[in-house]
Amino acid sequence: MRVIDVTTHTVGTPWRELNFVELTTDTGLRGVGEARMVNKTDTLVACINEIGGRYVLGMDPFDVERLQWRVHWEDYARAGEVTQTALACFDQACHDLMGQELGVPVWKLLGGQFRQRVPSYANGWYQGDRNPESFATMVKNVVGRGYRALKVDPFGAATAELSQAQLQLSADIIGAIRAEVGPDVQIMIEMHGRFTAATALRVAEALEQYRPEWIEEPVPPYYPAAMKQVRAGTNLAIATGERAHTLADFREFFEQGTVDFVQADLTHFGGFTGMRKLAGWAEAYGLLMAPHNVTGPVGTAANLHFAIACGNYKILEHFNDFADPWVFDLVEGAPAVDPADGCFALPTAPGLGVRLNHEAIAARPRTRVHFNLMAEGWETRAAAPMPPVE
């Protein structure tokens, strides 16, 4: 079995663009992968086309380790977000093809079934006014759909610092959410790397009374000394890693003990091949995986297969019930959260178990959005289009 064609499809939403890669083999099988690239869709598609023509066309889809090695070594460049995302799309599609060829779901290729149910937490649900009453109202829909966990960034467009008034408003929002959902629902606090270490510690102290499950990216990931300062100053668990793209990027987090939950994104970390290595390394430090996931149904399916097979797994992020729920129509066989327990069920179809709906994809052309987390009102997820490239 050899890859004879590489095809890309991009779907636009008001705030994100979803990129699908489809590999066709000489045996007639089609494998699919997906990633969402923030504000760099053109760059990603160009990288996919370049890598695809150089290394993927003609390859045996089972040779994923060799593909990773070639991209990292033969290109003689430092792998980062764009390269690792392109590689992740290919890696997902290759595993999809492997599973189809063997007639088994992908999780059987990743170590087999460790669990039958995968807990999920909701994101993208707070698209209203930034005040406690609004958030308390919106969160009813989250728990009403069966979620036992949710994530929220209550900090508006804060950058580096946060005034006392804004800190109080943010704390009041979290307090209103906690009062509405009760003591048993997990609340993850998303900081989006907004703060200096000093500000992050002020925020952590103010929110500790609401028992958050973790604080996420309290400082930008490229300031290890600042992360050490936060770690030393709070008892709250710290989650980070969505903007780390290679194994080496996690070295200081692990060795310095500054991360409790590892949030690498499968679709930005080289796919299953990269994530399996990271999970093994995290296990050596007694850490749990909680992957970042802001993709549509294909990337979510890939994450689900990884979660089924990964022993040191905590929980899977999920946007699609609240942000652009029509993305379920982009495929056949989209995974969905069971409202009975807030979990994904065990997938059983061969490969990833999802197939692209090309008509639905064609009906949702690119939006060329610029999603700016530092702009007022970003929570509405109605980002402005990017200016055209000259």
Catalytic residues: 192, 292
What is the number of other CB atoms lying within 10 angstroms of the CB of residue 230? 26
Write the DSSP symbol of residue 22. E
Using alpha carbons, select from 89, 16, 147, 45 the residue that is nearest to residue 352: 89
Using alpha carbons, select from 30, 36, 45 the residue that is nearest to residue 93: 30
Residues 6+ apart with CB under 8 A from 347: 105, 107, 301, 304, 305, 308, 335, 353
Amino acid (one-letter) located at 269: F
Could you give the CA distance from residue 140 to residue 136 in angstroms, rounded to a whole number? 7
Residues 6+ apart with CB under 8 A from 249: 221
What long-range pairs does 176-180 form, CB within 8 A, spacing at least 24? 176/132, 176/133, 176/135, 176/136, 177/135, 177/136, 177/139, 177/150, 177/152, 177/210, 178/210, 178/211, 179/136, 180/136, 180/139, 180/140, 180/143
